Amino acid sequence: MAPKPWGEWSMALSHLALGVVSLHAALSTAQASRGAAAGFLLQALAAATMLAPGLGTDEDCLAGAWVATVIGLPLLAFDFHWCTNGHLMCAGCFIHLLADARLKEEQATCPNCRCEISKSLCCRNLAVEKAVSELPSECGFCLRQFPRSLLERHQKEECQDRVTQCKYKRIGCPWHGPFHELTVHEAACAHPTKTGNELMEILDEMDQSHRKEMQLYNSIFSLLSFEKIGYTEVQFRPYRTDDFITRLYYETPRFTVLNQTWVLKARVNDSERNPNLSCKRTLSFQLLLKSKVTAPLECSFLLLKGPYDDVKISPVIYHFVFTNESNETDYVPLPIVDSVECNKLLAAKNINLRLFLFQIQK
């Protein structure tokens, strides 16, 4: 058997040293901080995995399952937070716990030791995040094992089994398939040889979907040409109803736009009885005119994310005619991308957004 090159021995020795040091650090910090100990254990496990490249897929999966058992949560994200007693939570679960506590009007607690948790009491565990990034994870396409830190790049750019599209998609080819079949398909694809009339039918269908996407932005551009435009940052603050079983709702302080006084209200899952039991969460809002008007006030309005915020909101334009008798809109959906973004808003102390109002003059 040929001897290993010095480079491989050097790499193996460095992983061995990392594993020994990490294991020693885990034993030394076990009493003082469980979170730090878990991080060092994960780092030692990652080093051991790199030292044994012959491990089979089943053993790698068992290693990942063991780590998930130690932490108490599946390894779905790189960001990990820990409570004051050292128990770990991934970023998604941490936000979900804070959102649940907001809905139930309770103090959020660690699911393991029940100590209080919040954004100020918990911090990220960089040792665990570093170790998790080196643990093996399975590619969803080719089923091979890669370090988590390299998996995303592999699945997007390198995997020969990743799902890709034909380069003639722009002229209507619907083919989706593994990357290693792309060259063969494109060589035999019938779309480049279609006649102009056949392609025109396909392009007309594609243009219709494109027009729908552009219609929203063209409408926004048209609104920006109005004479009377107003915008302001609004802060939704949490309150509870006076019902026997209280329900969460949000309301902004009064604000002035277009020389009128307004208020915004919002509710979760259309005020259903127990929104904390639902995984799908939505927010809806209504706009209320608080000042008196001498004539009907026709307005278009939309809510967008505020400055320095990362919530994902798709712009949707709403329209209403305000009068003294009809001074509040119906509840309309706040166009949040998904329930994860909704949980981010619920987990925050207040919800900060930006309101745009456009007065339509006849």
| Of the residues 200, 222, 244, the one at which a domain ends | 222
In this structure, how many other beta carbons lie within 10 angstroms of the beta carbon of residue 319?
Answer: 11
In this structure, how many other beta carbons lie within 10 angstroms of the beta carbon of residue 232?
Answer: 14
pLDDT at 25: 56
Amino acid letter for position 96: H
pLDDT at 63: 46
Q: Is residue 6 scored above 70 in pLDDT?
A: no
Quote the CA–CA distance of 150 and 160 in Å, as a whole number.
15
Q: How confident is the model at residue 264 (pLDDT cuts 50, 70, 90)?
A: very high
CATH number, position 68: 3.30.40
pLDDT at 37: 55
Contacts of 79 (CB under 8 A, 6+ apart): 90, 91, 124, 129
Three-state SS sequence of 68-87 = HHHHCCCCCCCCEEECCCCC
Query: Residues of the chain with pLDDT > 90: what percent?
Result: 33
pLDDT at 78: 64
158 assigned to some structural domain: no
| Of the residues 222, 237, 253, the one at which a domain ends | 222
Residues 209 and 243 in one domain: no
Count of domains forming the chain: 3
Q: Which domain holds residue 251?
A: 228-359
Residues 243 and 197 in one domain: no
Residues 240 and 322 in one domain: yes
| Of the residues 131, 153, 175, the one at which a domain ends | 153
- Structure token digits, residue 254: 């009064």
* Lowest-confidence region among 20-34, 122-136, 155-169, 245-259: 20-34
pTM of the model: 0.67
Higher pLDDT, 358 or 5: 358
Quote the CA–CA distance of 172 and 194 in Å, as a whole number.
11
What's the pLDDT tens digit per position in 19-54? 555 555 555 555 545 555 555 555 555 555 555 544
180 assigned to some structural domain: yes
pLDDT at 66: 41
Residues 307 and 180 in one domain: no
Residues 200 and 239 in one domain: no
65 assigned to some structural domain: yes
Half-sphere exposure of 79 (CA within 13 A, CB side): 8
pLDDT at 209: 76
pLDDT at 296: 92
Q: Is residue 148 scored above 90 in pLDDT?
A: no
Q: Is residue 316 scored above 60 in pLDDT?
A: yes
What value does the mean pLDDT take over residues 60-75? 43
Mean residue pLDDT across the chain: 81
Q: How confident is the model at residue 152 (pLDDT cuts 50, 70, 90)?
A: confident
- For 142-151, the CB contacts below 8 A with 24+ separation are 143/57, 145/57, 145/60, 147/46, 148/75, 148/78
Q: How confident is the model at residue 306 (pLDDT cuts 50, 70, 90)?
A: confident
Residues 263 and 130 in one domain: no
Quote the CA–CA distance of 49 and 161 in Å, as a whole number.
25
CATH number, position 257: 2.60.210
139 assigned to some structural domain: yes
196 assigned to some structural domain: yes
Higher pLDDT, 67 or 342: 342
Residues 107 and 173 in one domain: no
Contacts of 78 (CB under 8 A, 6+ apart): 129, 132, 133, 148
160 assigned to some structural domain: no
Residues 138 and 236 in one domain: no
Question: Alpha helices, DSSP H only, in 52-147?
Answer: 57-71, 91-104, 126-134
Quote the CA–CA distance of 3 and 25 in Å, as a whole number.
33
For the four alpha carbons of 120, 126, 127 and 133, in that order, the dihedral sign comes to positive
Residues 245 and 120 in one domain: no
